[in-house]
Structure 1
Amino acid sequence: MEEESPNGPDLVLTLDPRTRVLTAALAYDSRFPTINAMWLRNCIVTAGYDTLRIRPDAIKGLIAQYNAGRTVPPIDIADTVDGSLEISLSRDGLTARLTIFPPRGGNAVTRAMLLDELNAKGITEGILVAEINRAISTGEARDLVIAHGREPVPGEDGSLECLLPDTRDRVPNIRPSGRTDYRDLGDILVVRAGDALMRRHPPTPGVEGLNVLGRPIAPQPGKDARFAAGLRGVSVSPDDADLLIATHDGQPVRVRGGMVVEPVLTLKSVNMATGNVNFDGNVKILNDVTAGMSVRATGDIEVGGVVEPATLEAGGSIVVKGGVVGGLGGKAAGKDLSAHGIRCGGSFSATYAQQARIDAGDSIFIDDVAMQCQLTAAHHVRVGNHRRGHIVGGLIRASLSVRARVIGSASRVRTELEIGSNPALALTLQQKAEERDQKENQLLEIGKLLTLADRNPGRVPPEVVARAEQTAATLTAEIGGLRNEEADLRFRLDLAQQARVDAEREMHDGVTITLGEQKLRISQEVGPSTVRLAEWGLGVFPLAEDKGLG
């Protein structure tokens, strides 16, 4: 096919049907001494060849020859190009993507061409027919997903299921809201030898996936959950390797990686006749603890009666069914009783407390009244559940919240509350960060050794490489655990900045509240209210019933 150009020298364009190459011939005409690329482009468009792929260098050469006053013999200036396609696979083989390159004067990509390419690449699974049809009809596609395999489903991690109700838990647990439910810590639960305590559920293998080539993809199996080594008072059942049973009578306590059974010592009372008590396990006292005595236990302590000015120390929780009468500022038989106090690693619960010093690693719950006490809790202090719920005088410290029905008294008794401070928590966070830094430095050095071994085969003995890889895996796991612990500690410190004091009924003049460097003195009686940090400092707000402790 030949075409001539208007408004200029005679340009003859010829498309060879065999080679599908467009040639141009141009006789020099002195009436048109020069031409330019725009004129030539218009000629090509007018002739209907604008979709062909132009050869830029050939166009430049043609213009240069003509402008030099020479006739230009036939020269190839453009090519007919059929449409083409490209199918790429993702690295994991789960996805196939299509890109269509449109034709330049040639034939468009057809559905048959695309299916042939899929077949050539072995893509047989998860083909998206609708997407393919849409791409063919529009003639356009750029990284279009046209096949998607079936992703593997990771296995579920193994778990340890407690088979007992209301088991004491020695693993700290704070809700995301920072709230803690008021609870009676209750009686010591006792199990007998042979009782089932905990069941291990194995991990699941997951569900196999399938890539677009029809090849299976192995799933990530769940992580195994194992009973920790050295659990006291328990063993794996000889008939069931996934069942943990008690080996002797005692109190079951849930710990990380399982459960322990702690022995229980039961006494009618603790007095001069029994002497002081120091027991590795749990202590249950049916009646009272008299003045001047001490009871120390690695587990929990339960007292059925009253605790007079005495010392109680427990690694777990302490429950006093009666009340606590402390010795702050008091003497008996010429002895200073103020040195006596109560300390526990878990929570403390009592009906009432008077002139008592109580420190709890978790929270303090007093049902009736706390009068002239020194109470310190790592999390919450709650006074009042079924009874009056009065805090009168003394010093109350809690990292997250203090809540009572009435705080202070009409007689303006000095009552001090400190919230939000937990130096021990900040110190622990610093120690964990330092420990992690040390392990990361160790891992870095081991990484250098493994890199050297990888780049220089045979230079490092295989046994050294194996030990290094094992150590690296152990360090990586330990670093991950420390990061999780740091995140938990930071979360708890952040919660402390949201610390609050809640008075459900009223708060009296004479109450002073401190949060860090902020201090607020209540100068007149206020009704149901909350004291918390605001932009300007500590402020008093109407009590939000949906906040604080339940």
Structure 2
Amino acid sequence: MENTIIYSSPYIEISKSGDGYYIQSFKKGLSVGEFNKILNSFPEIQISNFVVIKEALVFAPQEPRRFGSTKEKIKVEVSGDKLKAYVTIYADKSELTGPDIITKIVEKLNEKGIIYGIKSDAFLNLVPNQPILIAEGLVPIPGKDSINKMYKLKEVRPEIKEDGNVDHYELNLINMVKEGDWLGERIDADEGKEGRNVFGDPLKPLPGKNYPLLYDKNSVREVVEGNKTVLYAKRSGAVFFQGDRIGVSNHLEIEENVGVKTGNVNFDGFLTVKGTVEDNFSIASTKDIEILSEYGVGNVKEIKSHEGNIYIKGGIVGKGKTVIRCKKNLYIKYVADADIYCDESVHVGFYCLNSNITAKEVILDSMKGQIMGGTINAEVRVVTAILGSSSEKRTIIKVKGFDRSDYKDKLDEISHNIDEIKLEVSKCKQQLAIFANTYDSWQNRKAEYEKIVAHYNDLKIVLLEYEESRKKLISYLRTKGEGEISILKRAFPNSMIEIKGIQKEIQKPVIRVSYYYNEGTIKEM
């Protein structure tokens, strides 16, 4: 076989025989870097044995030994995901013009079976000895997850309107719906868009996840409308959430007054009285209660919510006999001569006169807010614009106080529990998405699906309780010291404050002050 010398110097000689390339060295002195520069002039050489090259240069002189072979002039490589194909042309730049090279590239692509996504503009910008993106497939587009929208409960927050004539105390407490009202919907997940690799093979997309709608089947129905599943109320009532499960609870709406016509009311559910509660009558309910009369209530016997909140739009004139009890929060425009027992917060719009209140905290929401007479017993704090009166009526504020380090420990523990439950919720949600996507073919696993749904919702109920507790603790920890009485405008003499058992008499007018417990004493700021 003929041996052709293609390069020669005092150090080495490179020759070609058949499809092989050989190196012979004569003396030392040529570095590997210099040898690589020489090889750049011969792009058609594919190195197959680096050791031979190294030995020829380091241990010169050396007899001719094969170190390489002839590269394919046109080489096509496909990426591992089969979405991209590259062509490398081993030739001089002068060989890259004319139709012949394009024809050869097309033939090579056909030989490899590459038929999809060929880039025609790549043929106009050919460069030698480096990969050129010659074909590109279509990446499949994953399906979009379902979009779930649910009825939003109105935020329970008092709105104070002081227009100079009539002071308004507005609040949205009970969310009422009628039979057939919209409660939520799911726009179903889509399948995504199919892709294709450079060989023309279809690539299936990952379908979107269909997250389930959770609802109380006794009070809510679902209707499939095209690509949507819509939830409607089966009955009129008050919207509630138990975890993520929506439902419509019993709701009693009394259009007029509670009195001789109605008798005392004791209801299992949400209760709305559009009028008032007449003297010597009582109402009770398991859930939230709202009394919407602008005139409020007078000498009622008792108003009680076993599990919920109470909102009295017009306030209370109790005449020394009225008792209010609620499990959660109480919202009233004003209160006079009444006894109040509340497990959480009492919000009073404008004034509290000669009343005894026991609660976690007592907040006078208006800058006109005033506590005159009576006794306030709070655990965490009391906030009012004015304490006492110019007539120096005896007014007592007692704050039991709390252990700040204990509250912080509880907050840390709750935050840790929330993180753990969120992880478990995420796992359940993924399981539900899988079931929802293939539910029709998994009817024999219906019991397993319902079990996961129940577990998911139980977790969400616990999570909501923890999050509410965390929110309250964070709010309480914003209190100064370990118990606070905050007076935003002034305090009058003959008012007595007590925090953590330490008493202080206010003997002269005081302007804008906060009293708080810290390190065994009551401090002022």
Cα distance, 1:76 vs structure 2: 1.4
From 3, 6, 9, the equivalent of 2:7 is 3
1:296 to 2:281 alignment = no
Cα distance, 1:313 vs structure 2: 0.8
From 362, 365, 371, the equivalent of 1:391 is 371
From 225, 228, 238, the equivalent of 2:213 is 225
Aligned to 1:356, what secondary structure does the other structure show?
strand
Cα distance, 1:14 vs structure 2: 1.6
Contact 2:143 / 2:191 at 8 angstroms: preserved in 1?
A: yes
CA separation of 1:366/1:25 partners in 2, compared to 1, >3 Å: closer, same or farther?
closer
Between structures 1 and 2, the one with greater strand share = 2
Q: What are the residue-to-residue correspondences of 1:415-454 with 2, within 5 Å?
A: 415-416=397-398, 433=417
Residue 55 of structure 1: aligned partner: 49
Aligned to 1:151, what secondary structure does the other structure show?
coil
Amino acid at match of 1:383: D
From 320, 325, 347, the equivalent of 1:364 is 347
* TM-align CA RMSD: 6.2
CA separation of 1:355/1:487 partners in 2, compared to 1, >3 Å: closer, same or farther?
closer
From 319, 332, 339, the equivalent of 1:349 is 332
**Cα separation, 1, equivalents of 2:175 and 2:454:** 39
Residue 192 of structure 2: aligned partner: 208
Q: What are the residue-to-residue correspondences of 1:24-35 with 2, within 5 Å?
A: 24-26=23-25, 35=28
Q: What are the residue-to-residue correspondences of 1:117-156 with 2, within 5 Å?
A: 124=116, 149=139, 151-156=141-146
Deviation per residue, 1:442-497 (Å, 9 max, x gap): x99xx9xxxxxxxxxxxxxxx9x959964874476357636853456545544543
Q: What are the residue-to-residue correspondences of 1:134-533 with 2, within 5 Å?
A: 149=139, 151-160=141-150, 181=159, 184-185=170-171, 196-198=180-182, 200-206=184-190, 208-213=192-197, 214-215=202-203, 217=205, 219-220=207-208, 222-225=210-213, 227-231=215-219, 243-246=232-235, 252-256=237-241, 257-264=246-253, 268=257, 277-281=265-269, 282=271, 284=273, 286-288=275-277, 290=279, 294-299=282-287, 300-302=289-291, 304=293, 305-308=296-299, 310-314=301-305, 315-324=307-316, 340-345=323-328, 347-354=330-337, 356-359=339-342, 364-369=347-352, 373-374=356-357, 376=359, 381-384=363-366, 388-392=368-372, 394-395=375-376, 397=378, 404-407=384-387, 413-416=395-398, 433=417, 470=449, 473-474=452-453, 477-478=456-457, 481=460, 484-485=463-464, 486=466, 489-491=469-471, 493-498=473-478, 506-508=489-491, 525-527=510-512
Deviation per residue, 1:342-396 (Å, 9 max, x gap): 2154543233344532416576243344555425368x834338xx322346436
CA separation of 1:59/1:468 partners in 2, compared to 1, >3 Å: closer, same or farther?
farther
**Cα separation, 1, equivalents of 2:211 and 2:39:** 70
Contact 2:145 / 2:208 at 8 angstroms: preserved in 1?
A: yes
Amino acid at match of 1:151: I
Contact 2:192 / 2:208 at 8 angstroms: preserved in 1?
A: no
Cα distance, 1:86 vs structure 2: 4.2
- Seq. identity, %: 12
Q: What are the residue-to-residue correspondences of 1:18-97 with 2, within 5 Å?
A: 18-19=18-19, 21-26=20-25, 35=28, 38=30, 42=34, 45=37, 53=47, 55-62=49-56, 72-81=62-71, 86-88=77-79, 96=83
Deviation per residue, 1:30-82 (Å, 9 max, x gap): xx6xx36x457646746866875373322355468756xxxx43211344546
**Cα separation, 1, equivalents of 2:210 and 2:463:** 19
Contact 1:196 / 1:245 at 8 angstroms: preserved in 2?
A: yes
CA separation of 1:24/1:124 partners in 2, compared to 1, >3 Å: closer, same or farther?
closer
TM-score (norm 1): 0.57
Aligned to 1:22, what secondary structure does the other structure show?
strand
Aligned to 2:460, what secondary structure does the other structure show?
helix
Amino acid at match of 1:246: R
Amino acid at match of 2:238: V
Unaligned runs of 5+ in 1: 163-168, 331-336, 448-462, 542-550
Aligned to 2:208, what secondary structure does the other structure show?
coil
Aligned to 2:147, what secondary structure does the other structure show?
coil
Aligned residue pairs total 452
Amino acid at match of 1:229: K
Contact 2:258 / 2:264 at 8 angstroms: preserved in 1?
A: no
Deviation per residue, 1:293-333 (Å, 9 max, x gap): 65322242527443447432124443335443569xx7xxx
Deviation per residue, 1:475-527 (Å, 9 max, x gap): 7635763685345654554454346889795143878697x9xx999998444
CA separation of 1:374/1:348 partners in 2, compared to 1, >3 Å: closer, same or farther?
same
Residue 546 of structure 1: aligned partner: none
Contact 2:119 / 2:134 at 8 angstroms: preserved in 1?
A: no
TM-score (norm 2): 0.60
Aligned to 1:506, what secondary structure does the other structure show?
strand
**Cα separation, 1, equivalents of 2:505 and 2:78:** 74
Contact 1:432 / 1:482 at 8 angstroms: preserved in 2?
A: no
Deviation per residue, 1:157-183 (Å, 9 max, x gap): 344558xxxxxx5x9x58xxxx76555
